[in-house]
Amino acid sequence: MLNYAVHGQLAGELLAPVSKSDLHRLILACALSNGSSLIRRCTLSEDIRATARVMETAGAAVTFGDDNILVEGIGQHNAERIDCDCGESGSTLRFLVPVMAALGQSARFIGHGRLAQRPMQPLLQQLEQHGVTFSLPDNGDWLPMELDGKLQGGCFSFSGDISSQYITGLLFALPLLHEDSQIRLTSPLQSKGYVDMTLRVLELFDITVHPVENGWDIPGNQQYRTPGQLEAQGDWSNAAFWLCAGAIGNHPLTVHGLDLQSLQGDRAVADLLAQMGAQVTTEGHSVTVTPAPLKAITIDGAQIPDIIPVLSVVAAVAQGETHIVNAGRLRIKESDRLHAMYQCLSAIGADVTELADGLILCGKPQLRGGTVDSFNDHRIAMSMAVASLVCKEPVVIRDPLCVSKSYPHFYKDFQALGGDVHVIDLGA
């Protein structure tokens, strides 16, 4: 197995990678439109390739350029069952199951890694109540899954603590139906920022969704109309690694290409770092974080699950006791991220306690370093690379290339900012 030893100090500036969340949504909307669409700026992660691959299987054409994506909308639907390989992408699976059902497309969904174990029941239960049938394996996994039938409109009801990806998938699918539909939530929605991103993309494509109390009304018989050319946003989720590195390192770090008014929930990283004592300055589309003495705070993970791993690294060196709360949903991501961060931070000398839905971290001025597992989780691997900045010795990351899921050039950027990355053999 390949392993990387990472260490050093970072300084300088870089352009934010493109938002994977935004690209998923743009590719899907373009594929559901008539005609051609050009998406300027792209970061071709494994998850984005999975969404493009499935849409091509459904009849779209997706061409990757040097820094853009050309999408031709779905033409003739395939009369036969199609195979939809979602890779390890939860977004691809949860967005496209309801979309294929709305198109009346029989499909077989497969995936890799932990994707077969990630929850699907709330979504499938609602789809089954509206005309869709599923064939599932007998071992309790969700994949491979066979989908048949055509989705019918009506009222779809969910608890607000389910994955926002279920809501996004339905928001893309329901406008395609003949009937009007409603989505209703029985409790406040977590990860609301991701649904707001979806609503923004739908508006760009002339899709009407009416917000109402506890949900949305979605008229049927709508058509996706492409604006022709679009530009994906810079990614606050991946920018968070560099902004946190600026907070705990010895030198300022600047990330360009970020929309300060973005609907991405992970934009909260700038405010949270400022609350912890880092010096955060903004200018135009750039954010600079300069190190300063850090203090403990309480971090609510309900709306920002993807940046909790790297924020826990910052908390590990912030004076006092940081409580990360309402983060139970991290247990059903690419890894059990609460347990993974507990294991990794403990291995490099942090004082960390694992709770059912969070972590408690008692900050230390410096950590010792050591060997950690990535748990085949891109956000764990990148968080531990950032943690190496405050370690006496290098951090050795097992299976580090899982970062290709969302940020293939992460280690290249780490080196460009001054960090050291070396392949290391740990033996058998």
Tens of pLDDT, residue by residue over 147-188, are 999 999 999 999 988 889 999 999 999 999 999 999 999 999
The reply to whether 191 and 300 lie within a common domain is no
| CATH code, domain with 142 | 3.65.10.10
The reply to whether 241 and 191 lie within a common domain is no
∠ CA 300-311-331, nearest 5°, is 65
User: What pLDDT, in 10s, does the model give residues 94-113?
Assistant: 999 999 999 999 999 999 99
The reply to whether 213 and 77 lie within a common domain is yes
In percent, the amount of the chain with pLDDT more than 90 equals 93
Domain boundary among 231, 258, 290: 231
Is 47 a known active-site residue? no
Give me the half-sphere count of Cα atoms (radius 13 Å) on the Cβ side of residue 397.
30
The reply to whether 243 and 135 lie within a common domain is no
Answer whether 297's CB lies under 8 Å from 247's CB. no
The reply to whether 195 and 238 lie within a common domain is no
- Report the alpha-carbon distance of residue 186 to residue 58 in Å, rounded: 33
Domain boundary among 196, 231, 266: 231
Tokens for 7?
């260490």
Strand partners, 267: none
The reply to whether 255 and 222 lie within a common domain is no
| 3-class DSSP assignment, residue 12 | strand
Q: Is residue 262 part of a domain?
A: yes
The reply to whether 166 and 263 lie within a common domain is no
Number of compact structural domains in the chain: 2
User: What pLDDT, in 10s, does the model give residues 262-319?
Assistant: 999 999 999 999 999 999 999 999 999 999 999 999 999 999 999 999 999 999 999 9
Q: Is residue 151 part of a domain?
A: yes
- Report the alpha-carbon distance of residue 235 to residue 333 in Å, rounded: 19
Read off the pLDDT of each residue in 6-10 and give the average, rounded to a whole number.
Answer: 96
Read off the pLDDT of each residue in 57-76 and give the average, rounded to a whole number.
Answer: 93
Q: How do beta strands 370-373 and 395-398 pair? A: parallel
Tokens for 183?
């989505």
Question: Which residue, chain included where needed, has tokens 């300063």?
Answer: 292
Answer whether 235's CB lies under 8 Å from 43's CB. yes
User: What pLDDT, in 10s, does the model give residues 358-393?
Assistant: 999 999 999 999 999 999 999 999 999 999 999 999
On the 0-12 / 13-18 / 19+ scale of CB atoms within 10 A, 212 is: exposed
Question: Which residue, chain included where needed, has tokens 């705990």?
Answer: 248
pLDDT tier at 408 (50, 70, 90 boundaries)? very high
The reply to whether 260 and 390 lie within a common domain is yes
Q: Is residue 360 part of a domain?
A: yes
User: What pLDDT, in 10s, does the model give residues 15-66?
Assistant: 999 999 999 999 999 999 989 999 998 888 999 999 999 999 999 999 999 8
Residue 202: partners with Cβ closer than 8 Å, 6 or more residues away: 29, 171, 172, 175, 209
User: What pLDDT, in 10s, does the model give residues 119-145?
Assistant: 999 999 999 999 999 999 999 899 999
Q: Is residue 428 part of a domain?
A: no
Residue 341 belongs to what H/E stretch? Answer: helix 337-347
The reply to whether 13 and 25 lie within a common domain is no
The reply to whether 38 and 167 lie within a common domain is yes
The reply to whether 172 and 112 lie within a common domain is yes
What pTM does this model have? 0.92
User: What pLDDT, in 10s, does the model give residues 197-235?
Assistant: 999 999 999 999 999 999 999 999 999 999 999 999 999
pLDDT tier at 427 (50, 70, 90 boundaries)? low
Q: What is the pLDDT of residue 80?
A: 87
Q: Which domain holds residue 249?
A: 3-17+234-423
Strand partners, 420: 7
Q: Is residue 178 part of a domain?
A: yes
pLDDT at 79 over 80: no
The reply to whether 249 and 215 lie within a common domain is no
Q: What is the pLDDT of residue 425?
A: 83
- Report the alpha-carbon distance of residue 391 to residue 373 in Å, rounded: 16
Domain boundary among 231, 258, 273: 231
Residue 427: partners with Cβ closer than 8 Å, 6 or more residues away: none
Catalytic annotation, pick one of 22, 235, 266, 306: 306
